[in-house]
Amino acid sequence: MATGKKAKNVGKEMKGKVKETTGKAVGNESMEMKGKAEQAAADAKQAGQKAKDTMKH
């Protein structure tokens, strides 16, 4: 996986975790769900990149 793309996806995942945690702490379900959605999107992108890397080798 390209290092830049990996870092970007990890950053998005961390941003999602922060939103989820903040949402839980303040009782904001909408923010919590947005955080979970961001994490899922980042995980899906990471899986796609790993699959591409596997196919190249």
Q: Considering the entire predicted model, what is its pTM?
A: 0.81
Question: Do 49 and 1 contact (CB within 8 A), yes or no?
Answer: yes
* Per-residue model confidence (pLDDT) at position 1: 52
Reading the chain (57 residues) residue by residue, the pLDDT tens digits are: 567 888 899 999 999 999 999 999 999 999 999 999 999 999 999 998 888 888 876
**For residues 11 and 3, what is the distance between their CA atoms, to the nearest angstrom?**
12
Q: What is the rounded distance in angstroms from the CA atom of residue 27 to the CA atom of residue 31?
A: 9
